[in-house]
Structure 1
Amino acid sequence: MSQKPILYTSLSPALLHLYDVKDTVVVVIDVFRATSTIASALYNGAKYIIPVDAVPKAVEISAEVGGIAAGERDGKLADGLSHGNSPLEYTKDFIEDKILVLTTTNGTRLLHMALVNGADDIVTGSFPNLTSVCNYLTKQNKNVILACAGWKDRFNIEDTLFAGAVIHRVKEHFTIHCDSSFMAENIYTQHKENLPQFAENLTHYHRLVNRFGYIDDIEFCLTEDVADVLPLYKDEKLVKG
């Protein structure tokens, strides 16, 4: 019997350096909201997305490529950007055939960290594109790191929940001896029938809903397969895989 690849869950960007990302599929997870927005934009026909780690860079690159400078800092539209980080903003009639240059507090930063650490196979994952991510992981037959973006290097539950959803679906294809993966799947299986209700307890839910009123965003971000594409990182762009 051939040996199964290994799956790990990194609960925070601050822990990513503990894992070897070479010859590994790294799934960047930022459920509220970067990776949900990426799935939404590509699903609705964006030509591609350029993820950048700084606001001035987003402004500069979008001007160069004739793209849309978008993103947030601390949950709100950052100065100099024309559009935010809401998955509902990127409808087909708005984003089709356009280039999105996206910068966010946690998700795009984590993607760049994975690159710096030597990752060469990066996809982004969220509940809206759960099935595409799971299908990709099982087909690649490579080691996997589910990399949670958290919040400013702190642990958060929504990214861990998504890691748990992936593990729940793909676990028979992988060797998993990892407490963070075990915990992630446990949290997900306990709460999968009522994710929106459970999410009301979460820190980032309070930040996004109570301060900014993004309840519709949260519902979208917790709905499986509503934007089921595979955002694949190639040549400094996220493209539809």
Structure 2
Amino acid sequence: MSKPSITTILSPRLLQLYDISNSIVVIIDVFRATSTIATALYNGAAKVIPVDSVEQCIATGRNLNAITAGERDGKIIPGLQYGNSPAEYYRDFIHGKTLVLTTTNGTRLLHMALSKGASEVVTGSFPNISAVCNHLLQMNKNVILGCSGWKDRFNLEDTLFAGAIIQRLQEHFTINGCDSSLMAENMYGLHKHHLYSFIQKTSHWHRLAAYGLEKDLEYCITEDGANVLPVYTNNALIAAK
């Protein structure tokens, strides 16, 4: 019996080149959207509604009496209530509430994947890596690891997370024919024992650290701090049972 495949897409701009219709798509935006989504749901948020425009975020929040949040270039967007920091969504604040979220990269890629007919969309980052891997093993379907990158450009942190998933699952999946998966797995293997020091060299780390977000960034590359599986259903991300 042949194994299902794992394909890594290194930038949203490349998504159009792939058939994703029979695949589970994992949206990856390590710094910080998918880390924030996992954290909010882990801490009891009823759901997270990802939207790809500020106007839609404000309107949806008003209609649902929900919390509105988002950032562009690492800064809270005027007109929204909160930002994209996982630390903002602690249990006493977020439990039982709905969060409407828009971000620079991750929420846009999620909607792109939905429009291309992904069979299922989940979100992943280091804080929920085990939940993601366990789900992919259980489903035993082809997987697309979608790296959100930075404004359609390649970034290292999302690719390293893709590599971490591949390394955990490589006995059960094949990456034959996908050089980007081979590269991601090899890169993670080279740097996993000094991930903190290596990732601090990345452009996105420098960009966000300039805003004083180092603690956020360290949390975002720490495994299983918010080990829940966000699954997209009925226009929202909810924690899988």
Q: List runs of 5+ in structure 2 lacking aligned partners.
A: none
Residue 88 (1) aligns with residue 60 (2): no
The whole-number CA distance in structure 2 between the counterparts of 1:52 and 1:109 is: 7
Shift of 1:189: 1.1
Residue 205 (1) aligns with residue 220 (2): no
Shift of 1:131: 0.2
The whole-number CA distance in structure 2 between the counterparts of 1:22 and 1:101 is: 26
The whole-number CA distance in structure 1 between the counterparts of 2:140 and 2:34 is: 23
The whole-number CA distance in structure 2 between the counterparts of 1:40 and 1:189 is: 26
The 5 A counterparts of 1:145-160 are 145-160=144-159
> Match for residue 96 of structure 2?
97
The 5 A counterparts of 1:124-203 are 124-177=123-176, 178-203=178-203
Aligned-pair identity (%): 60
Deviations 1:39-98 (A, max 9, x none): 000000000000000011001001111110001011110111100000111000110000
Deviations 1:126-177 (A, max 9, x none): 0000000000111111100000000000000000000000000001111211
Q: Report the aligned-residue RMSD.
A: 0.6
The whole-number CA distance in structure 2 between the counterparts of 1:19 and 1:132 is: 25
Write the letter of the residue equivalent to 1:179. D
Shift of 1:109: 0.2
Write the letter of the residue equivalent to 1:228. N
> Match for residue 18 of structure 2?
19
Q: May I ask how many residue pairs the two structures share in their alignment? A: 239
Deviations 1:183-232 (A, max 9, x none): 1011111111121111110000010002x010000010000000000000
* TM-score between the two structures when normalised by the length of structure 1: 0.98
Shift of 1:120: 2.9
The whole-number CA distance in structure 2 between the counterparts of 1:176 and 1:26 is: 15
The whole-number CA distance in structure 1 between the counterparts of 2:191 and 2:70 is: 30
The whole-number CA distance in structure 2 between the counterparts of 1:133 and 1:50 is: 19
Runs of 4+, deviation exceeding 3 Å: none
> Match for residue 56 of structure 1?
55
